[in-house]
């Protein structure tokens, strides 16, 4: 996947201040205080520079937890979407938390294959990835450091806590605050050069780190809450602050190993595989077969691959270091382009 290069920060700020339509489609403007992302020439009031984030693609802003502006409608192409697609787009706007099936789409008189091709062409993602991103944005909002559930709810457009809780429950199948006896896992967004990641941690350990556009993210969130019997709360804590700092150093080529404590509940076999993954040195790779032999289960190659895919803590438990028997890259939930880039980062000289 090609990484788009944005104009300079100063140039983009100037374009937003001037509402310059020439930059429409070049980048998108996300506003931290409202949780909304817009076109550079949006007619809405100009945000303060310190409250702006820039994204090369609408999908990047969407998966970062921002919701599309209702005035400039950045998720629609600059020319109006085709008439046949309008009923589906309107239905999504009315209920962005809805989980769509092909049958639901056909009920609106639209062919799912046609919808898929249109979204791939205009947004470089499938319709289901698009709707999943809308649900993430609705449920997690634009999570700010230190926000309470109440602040997150009201700051990101919810009229009541009940509405926020309902949206969160639709996403992960568990309310953001339940019995006080449950373990609390704080969920936040961490920006990286390879796209935003969703991170989760208790007061003592990291238990989730996934790219926000991963297809299995919602499934991983549900599995985590079931395994840990935990409640999820938007916000941050010291563990997540440490993780964000270490990830920044990692992507800058200044770090190879991580000190953040991990909590990865799973079956005994999964635990064995994940422990073996951590033992693969940074910058090196190992085949699924070699990994199976190393843990004493030479015939369990497929099971090792499944355990690899079930890993909920990307990068820190480095499933990206496992390759096919021929050395080629295979099977990475975040996309093979990310797997390639992570290996390139680790194989480059360490910066001091």
Q: Is 219 in the same domain as 275?
A: no
69 given a catalytic annotation: no
38 given a catalytic annotation: yes
Is the separation of the CB atoms in 208 and 162 below 8 Å?
no
Q: What is the pLDDT of residues 179-193, one digit of tens each?
A: 344 677 888 878 788
Residue-range definition of the domain harbouring residue 274: 268-347
Nearest to 34 by CA among 169, 199, 152, 164: 152
Q: Is 124 in the same domain as 152?
A: no
Q: What is the pLDDT of residue 209?
A: 94
Is the separation of the CB atoms in 110 and 121 below 8 Å?
no
Q: What is the pLDDT of residues 41-51, one digit of tens each?
A: 898 888 888 88
Q: Is 215 in the same domain as 308?
A: no
Number of domains in the chain: 3
Q: Is 53 in the same domain as 158?
A: no
Q: Is 228 in the same domain as 277?
A: no
Residue 260 lies in a domain: no
Nearest to 75 by CA among 13, 10, 111, 30: 30
Percentages of the chain per state (helix, strand, coil), in multiples of 5: 45, 15, 45
| Region 202-214 average pLDDT | 88
| Region 70-77 average pLDDT | 80
- The DSSP code sequence of 43-95 is SSPPPPGGGEEEESSHHHHHHTT-EE-TTT-TTS-SSPPPGGGHHHHHHHHH-
Spell out the residues 6+ positions from residue 341 whose beta carbon is closer than 8 angstroms to its own.
194
Residue 156 has phi, psi (to 5 degrees) of -115, 30
| Window from 72-76, 215-219, 239-243 with minimum mean pLDDT | 215-219
Distances 163 to 92, 150, 166, 193 between C-alpha atoms, Å:
17, 11, 5, 33
The two tokens of residue 232 are 């999820």
Q: Is 209 in the same domain as 299?
A: no
The answer to whether residue 52 scores a pLDDT higher than 50 is yes
CATH number of the domain bearing residue 326 = 1.10.10.10
| CA–CA gap between residue 305 and residue 323 (Å, rounded) | 10
Q: What is the pLDDT of residue 142?
A: 41
Please tell me the pTM assigned to this model: 0.60
**Domain final position from 111, 139, 167:** 139
**Domain final position from 139, 161, 182:** 139
| CA–CA gap between residue 32 and residue 66 (Å, rounded) | 8
Catalytic residue from among 42, 207, 230, 319: 319
Q: Is 229 in the same domain as 323?
A: no
Q: What is the pLDDT of residues 249-272, one digit of tens each?
A: 999 999 999 999 999 988 999 999
Spell out the residues 6+ positions from residue 326 whose beta carbon is closer than 8 angstroms to its own.
none
The answer to whether residue 288 scores a pLDDT higher than 90 is yes
């Amino acid at each position: 996947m090609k990484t788009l290069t944005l104009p300079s920060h100063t140039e983009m700020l100037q374009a937003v201040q001037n509402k310059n339509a020439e930059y429409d489609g070049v980048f998108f403007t996300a506003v931290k205080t409202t949780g909304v992302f817009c076109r550079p020439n949006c007619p809405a009031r100009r945000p303060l520079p310190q409250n702006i984030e820039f994204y090369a693609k609408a999908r990047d802003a969407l998966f970062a937890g921002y919701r599309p502006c209702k005035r400039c409608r950045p998720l629609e192409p600059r020319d109006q979407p085709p008439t046949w697609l309008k009923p589906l787009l309107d239905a999504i706007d009315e209920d962005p938390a809805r989980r769509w099936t092909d049958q639901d789409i056909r009920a609106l008189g639209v062919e799912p294959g046609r919808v898929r091709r249109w979204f791939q062409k205009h947004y470089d993602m499938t319709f289901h990835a698009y709707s999943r991103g809308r649900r993430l944005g609705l449920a997690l909002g634009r999570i700010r450091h230190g926000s309470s559930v109440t602040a997150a709810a009201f700051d990101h457009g919810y009229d009541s806590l009940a509405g926020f809780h309902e949206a969160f429950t639709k996403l992960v199948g568990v309310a953001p605050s339940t019995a006080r006896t449950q373990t609390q896992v704080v969920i936040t967004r961490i920006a990286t050069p390879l796209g935003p990641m969703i991170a989760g941690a208790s007061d003592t350990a990291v238990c989730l780190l996934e790219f926000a556009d991963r297809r299995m993210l919602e499934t991983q969130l549900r599995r985590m809450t079931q395994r840990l019997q935990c409640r999820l709360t938007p916000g941050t804590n010291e563990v997540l602050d440490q993780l964000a700092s270490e990830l920044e150093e990692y992507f800058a080529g200044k770090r190879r190993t991580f000190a953040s404590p991990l909590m990865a509940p799973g079956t005994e076999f999964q635990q064995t595989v994940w422990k073996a993954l951590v033992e693969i040195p940074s910058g090196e790779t190992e085949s699924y077969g070699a990994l199976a032999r190393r843990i004493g289960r030479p015939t369990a190659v497929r099971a090792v691959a499944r355990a690899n895919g079930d890993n909920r803590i990307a990068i820190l438990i480095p499933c990206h270091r496992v390759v096919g028997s021929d050395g080629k890259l295979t099977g990475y939930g975040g996309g093979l382009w990310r797997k390639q880039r992570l290996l390139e980062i680790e194989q480059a000289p360490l910066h001091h």
